[in-house]
Amino acid sequence: MDVIANLGIGLQAALTPTMLWYCFIGVLLGTFIGVLPGIGPLAAISLLLPITYYIGADVAIVMLAGVYYGAQYGGSTAAILLRLPGTASSAVACLDGNPMARNGRAGVALFITTIASFAGAITGLIILIFFSPYIAKLGLKFGSAEYFALMLLGLVAACTFSDSPLKGGAMVVLGLLLSMVGTDVNTGVIRYTFGFSELSSGLSLVALAMGIFGVADIIRNINTIDTSQLSQRFTLRSMLPNREEWRRSLPSMARGSAIGSFFGTLPGTGASISSFMSYATEKKLSRHPERFGHGAIEGVAAPEAANNASAQTAFVPTLTLGIPGDITMALILGALIIHGITPGPQLITAQPELFWGLIVSFIIGNILLVVFNIPMIGLWVSMLKIPYRLLYPTILVFISVGVFSVSNSTFDIYTVVAIGVLGYLLSTLRFDPAPLLLGFILGPLMEEHFRRAMLLSRGNLGTFIDRPISFSILIITALAIGFIMTSSVRRRLKANKTDKASHAN
C-alpha cells in the first residue's frame, strides 16, 4: 500500500504541464543525440546544465534524465542501419542489427529494439521502485576486489563473441593494451604515447568505436554494397517480428533486463558492460550460436533491454547513496547539488514528492519514447534507399564531426582513420571487434580497482580470495574459462570428424 501511495504522490508531481513538457523535450533531444554518431548524452547534458539554473530542480532532473535514457533508445538506430554506434553501449547492436538491416529486416530490428528498450527500462524502474534501499546496501558491499573480479568475468565472457575464443581473447588483450595509452592515474607517468602529446589523455573511446565499426565497415563494403537494394517496401506489417522471432526475443529481453538491472546498480560499471554481458549470455545459451553475428534477433533484443535497464537502475546509487555510476550520472548529481538537494538515504523520506515525481516521470518518458520511436522507424529505414556511393561520404562527415566535437582535436580524426584501417585488416583476418572495445572500456577501471585492492591489502593477492563475493565471482570466472575451452575442443573434434567423413565418402 505504501508503494501505491508513493506512486500517487509521484503522479501528482509528474502530471503537471511543466513536468510533462520538460520530460518530452528531454527524451526528444536524447533520441536525436543518440542517433547522431559520436555526440552522446554527456556532451548534451553538459550543454544543458547551465539552463537548470533557471528552472526548478525537479523539471531540471527530469529533462537531463530524459536526455540520458532517450539516448539509449536512439543510439542503436545508426548502429543497426549504418554500423555506427551512437553510444558505446549501442556498439553491440552492430553485431546482429546491421546484418538484419542488410537482409532487408531493418524495420524488424528497429521495432524489436524499441520494444526491448522499453521492457528493459520498465524492469529497471520496477526494481528502482521496490528495491532501491536494499540494492543500495548490496552495492556498498562491493569493494575494489569485487569490481576487479566482476570485470575479469566480463572480459572472459567477451572472448565468446568470436567463433574462436582464442581470437576473442587476443582482441580483449589488444583492447587492454590500447587502454593503457596515456597518463598513469596513480603516478602521472605518460605511457605509450610515442612522442604524441595528444595521446597524453589516452585514446578517444568515440574515435575507437567509430573507427573499428564505422570506418572499417566503409572500407570493407565500399565496392560491394548497394544500399538501394537492401531496403524493401516499408509497411507497418513488415516491421513486426514473426511468431518464432517473438518466441526467441521475449526470454532474451527478460534475461537482458535482469543483467542490466544488476550492473546498473553498481557504480562504475554502466550500460556498456551490461549490454556486452547480455550478448555473451545469449550466445552461450543459444542452441544455434552460429547464427549470432549474422542477424540473430536475440543478439539485438537482449543487449538493448540490458542497456536501458542499466540506464534506469543507475539512478539507484545516484539518488539513494549519492554515488554516481559514471560521468553522466555525476553531471545529474551535480545538477541536484546545484539546487541544494543532497542525494542520499534520506532523500526518499525527506523529499518524497521529488523522488517519486522523478520515478513517475521516468515511466512517462519511456512511454513517450515508444510512441515517438515506432512511427519514426519508416523514416529511419528510408535511409537505406540512398545509394551507398552517396551515403558513405555523408557517414564519413558525421564520423569526423562527432569525433572532433568530443575534444575539438583534429588529431582524433587522424586517429579514427588509423583505427579504421586497423579494423579493416582485423576483419579480413576474421577477428571480431566487439571484444576489443570491451577490453578498452574495462581496462582503466580494472587497473584502478586492482591497484586500489593491492594498496588496501598491502600487496596481498589473497585479498581476492579472502573476500567471499570476489572469491565467488573468481570461481564463476574459472568455470567459464573451463567451459569455453571444453566447448572449443568439442567443436574442433566434431569438425575433424565431419571432415574425415566427407573425405571417406
In tens, the pLDDT along 158-188 reads 777 666 788 888 888 998 999 888 888 777 8
In angstroms and rounded to an integer, the radius of gyration of the C-alpha atoms of the chain is: 22
pLDDT given for residue 15 in this prediction: 82
pLDDT of 231-262, one tens digit each?
A: 455 566 667 888 888 888 899 999 999 888 88
Half-sphere exposure of 172 (CA within 13 A, CB side): 21
Residue 191 banded pLDDT, cuts 50, 70, 90: confident
List Cα–Cα distances, 261 to 26, 271, 274, 308, 418, in angstroms.
Answer: 22, 9, 8, 9, 36
- Residues forming beta bridges with residue 183, ordered by sequence position: 190
pTM of the model: 0.72
- Residue 455: enclosing H or E segment and its boundaries? helix 434-456
Count of Cβ atoms closer than 10 Å to residue 303 Cβ: 37
Count of Cβ atoms closer than 10 Å to residue 4 Cβ: 7
Q: What are the boundaries of each domain within the chain?
A: 2-226+236-504
pLDDT given for residue 324 in this prediction: 67
Query: Which residues make Cβ contacts (< 8 Å) with residue 298, sequence separation at least 6?
Result: 96, 248, 249, 252, 282, 286, 292
pLDDT of 365-390, one tens digit each?
A: 888 888 888 888 777 777 666 776 77
| φ, ψ (nearest 5 deg) of residue 31 | -60, -50
Dump the DSSP string for 16-77. Answer: SHHHHHHHHHHHHHHHHHHHSTTTHHHHHHHHHGGGGGGS-HHHHHHHHHHHHHHHHHHHHH
Mean pLDDT of 315-344: 73
Helix axes 40-48, 57-82, angle to 10 degrees: 150
pLDDT given for residue 230 in this prediction: 47
146: nearest Cα among 479, 464, 477, 466:
464
328: nearest Cα among 92, 30, 46, 86:
46
305: nearest Cα among 372, 364, 258:
258
Tell me the C-alpha distance between 70 and 455, whole Å: 39
Tell me the C-alpha distance between 296 and 291, whole Å: 6
pLDDT of 9-52, one tens digit each?
A: 777 878 888 888 888 888 888 887 777 765 667 667 766 777 77
List Cα–Cα distances, 138 to 3, 466, 471, in angstroms.
Answer: 21, 18, 16
| φ, ψ (nearest 5 deg) of residue 191 | -120, 135
pLDDT given for residue 388 in this prediction: 66
Count of Cβ atoms closer than 10 Å to residue 117 Cβ: 30
- Residues forming beta bridges with residue 191, ordered by sequence position: 182
The single residue listed with the C-alpha cell 542520499 is 344
pLDDT given for residue 229 in this prediction: 44
Three cell numbers written together for 377: 522507424
pLDDT of 462-505, one tens digit each?
A: 888 888 888 888 998 888 888 878 877 777 777 666 666 666 65
Tell me the C-alpha distance between 300 and 305, whole Å: 9
How many helices (H) and strands (E) the chain has is answered by 22, 2
Tell me the C-alpha distance between 350 and 335, whole Å: 18
359: nearest Cα among 349, 348, 369:
348
